[in-house]
Structure formats: C-alpha cells, structure tokens
C-alpha cells in the first residue's frame, strides 16, 4: 500500500512513470483499481472508495494507492 496525499497528482505521476516502486524503486505503471470499499468518515457517514492499483514491471509487485484521508 502507498498512501497518497493528492489523488490527482499521484494519478499523473503514475501515468508518467514518475511514481517509484517502494520495493525496488523502478517506475510503477497503472494496473487497474482495487475493489471498492466503504470508508467511515469522522462524522460517522461512509464514503465509497475505489483506490488505484499500480504494478512494477521489474519486481512485478502490485501496490494500492490509498488516499491518505483513509484510515489504514
Ligand atoms: Zn518493484
């Protein structure tokens, strides 16, 4: 899992090969999305989140880009 502060910037960096793999530091590539899941908010409501996934071509690990606002 990779926590991202700005979804838009993370998506841009991922698409342009500027997001490094936390395992081997090679550039990650988009790899679809993780399953949608409910995330409880501070006010007690829930929000549906469908995080992006990324895959490293070098070590072949996949990573989920989870918005930092979601509790881990
Ligand atoms: Zn890697």
CA 1 to ligand 1 center in whole angstroms: 13
Please list the residues that pair with 39 across neighbouring strands: 47
Task: Report whether pLDDT(69) > 90.
Answer: no
Please state the domain count of the chain.
1
Residue 58 lies in a domain: yes
Domain span including residue 41: 2-67
* Overall pTM > 0.85: no
Q: What is the pLDDT of residue 2?
A: 85
pLDDT per residue over 15-47, tens digit each?
999 999 999 999 999 999 989 988 888 888 988
Q: Could you tell me if 55 and 61 are in contact, meaning their C-beta atoms sit under 8 angstroms apart?
A: yes
The alpha carbon of 27 and the centre of ligand 1 are apart by a number of angstroms equal to: 8
Residue 46 lies in a domain: yes
Distance of alpha carbon 47 from alpha carbon 55, whole angstroms: 26
Determine contact, residues 2/63, Cβ cutoff 8 Å: yes
Compute, in angstroms, the gap from residue 62 CA to the centroid of ligand 1.
Answer: 8
């Amino acid at each position: 899992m990779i926590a991202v502060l700005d979804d838009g910037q993370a998506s841009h960096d991922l698409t342009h090969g500027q997001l490094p793999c936390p395992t081997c530091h090679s550039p990650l590539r988009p790899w679809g999305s993780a399953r949608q899941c409910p995330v409880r908010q501070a006010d007690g409501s829930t929000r549906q989140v469908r995080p992006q996934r990324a895959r490293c071509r070098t070590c072949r690990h996949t990573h989920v880009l989870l918005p930092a606002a979601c509790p881990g």
